[in-house]
Amino acid sequence: MIIPHDQHDQMVGKLFVICVLVALFVSGGITPATALVIPPLADPPSGSTLTSLSVTFTGAHTSDDLEHKLRIGTTNGGAQIYNKTMPPNHSVTVSGLPSMGTIYVWYWTRNSSGWFVNTSTYTMNVGRIWNCAAGDTACLINAITLANASGNPEVIQLAAGTYTFVKNLFDDALLLPQITGNITLKGVGPDQTIITSDVPLGRESSVKTFIVEEVATLNVSGLSIVKGGLAIRNKGNVVIEQVTISKGGPGLFNEQTGTMTLKNSTVIDNGFFQGDGGGIVNKGTMEITESTIRDNGQEFYAGINNVGRMTLKNSTVADNHAESEGGGIGNLSGGWMEISNSLIQNNDANSGGGIDNAGDMTILRSVITGNEARIAFGNGGAILNTGALTISRTVIANNTASGRGGGILNFGGDLTLDRTIIAGNQAGEVGGGISHELNGLFVTEKTVVANNTPDDCSGCP
């Protein structure tokens, strides 16, 4: 095809301009327009399912943003639930959300160019909310039964009062239906909402209160379980907050498949029959925070018996009594445990008054005091170690053993001490502070061992 001369010149001119623009762009001579970024809601993720009637919404923010507003409705663009300016931290907790259905959330942003919006939708799946009157055990049983069958998360609210379950004395009597769904159980407070049984003291082992199956979730808060035998046996997922568990045994049992969290709670006065673990037995994964494990009794490992993975933080393990070993804590072979910012005090056993460790244990920034290996020739007043033990920035003081190791008996285990104080401990034989035996690993770094009786360290390298 032959192109006329005048069209040819026009095409050459346009190609020249295009080439110049491309060259300027590549060389940085032309800056492309910046695309407008509209901050989204950062949390919860858009499209997710919400299982609580109260949710915290947090929005993204840039330095160009002047103001944010949040609008929430049950219709697209509606504001039936919430319509306010966001606080300076771009985060707000909104209550009164519906239990089911879809909600529409509009996150507005104002900058120098005006107002812009990012929209999100969420599926509400809180399920039904049950309210049981004071002492209405039939309501609680019925609510759990129906909640298990619903397939949705459900909430059971218990009024202040005592819920007493009457059971014949036979093995494995279950006070409440097994938990197979997703249930949140709320009381008014541990001193006001009480779940209990008519089982005589001394026969607590004949009953169980909650059994949580492997696929299930149970969240418990604001109540006490008294004389409930084994209060909670968990194979699934359990969160316990502001709960008191007493006069049973063991109080909590977390199976190998279970995940359990204990917050701001008390496990007290459980046990006193043959077996392991008066207060808590853990075979799965467990976290204990800001809680008290006190006055539990058992043949072995009266306060805590751990063979799984456990963290103990900002908590107290005190006044527990074992007939044989591990008055406060027993971390058995295969168990992993980390203790931090905690108090291990006034526990006693024949050996390992405070702690009996045969697994892998780390103790950080804690105090271990007043523990006792009480019988004749009892060893390891504060700690009996036959496993791997690292202690850092911790005080071990005023513990007693009738035999060896008032502070620590390291009996063939691996012991590492880092910036730790071991003082004022007493042994009837040797190793007032430490008795190191059977050639286990022994490492110290910036550690003080002093003023122990009859000596500070027996067998130490």
pLDDT tens digits for range 18-28: 444 444 444 44
Domain spans, the chain: 41-125
The DSSP secondary-structure symbol of 151 reads: -
**Domain 41-125 class?**
mainly beta
Is residue 10 very low, low, confident or very high in pLDDT (cuts 50, 70, 90)?
low
Is residue 128 very low, low, confident or very high in pLDDT (cuts 50, 70, 90)?
confident
Residue type, 141: I
pLDDT at 16: 47
pLDDT higher than 80, residue 245: yes
Q: How far apart are the first and last CA of the chain?
A: 99
pLDDT at 172: 60
Is residue 355 very low, low, confident or very high in pLDDT (cuts 50, 70, 90)?
very high
pTM of the predicted model, to two decimals?
0.77
Half-sphere exposure of 55 (CA within 13 A, CB side): 25
pLDDT higher than 80, residue 36: no
Nearest alpha-carbon partner for 153 in 198, 190, 183 = 183
Task: Give the tens place of pLDDT for each residue, 136-185.
Answer: 999 999 999 999 998 888 999 999 999 999 876 555 688 999 999 999 99
Comparing 22-31, 47-56, 121-130, 434-443, the range with the smallest average pLDDT is 22-31
Q: Give the sheet arrangement for strand 252-254, strand by strand.
A: 173-174, 207-212, 230-234, 252-254, 280-282, 304-306, 329-331, 355-357, 383-385, 408-411, 434-437, 457-458
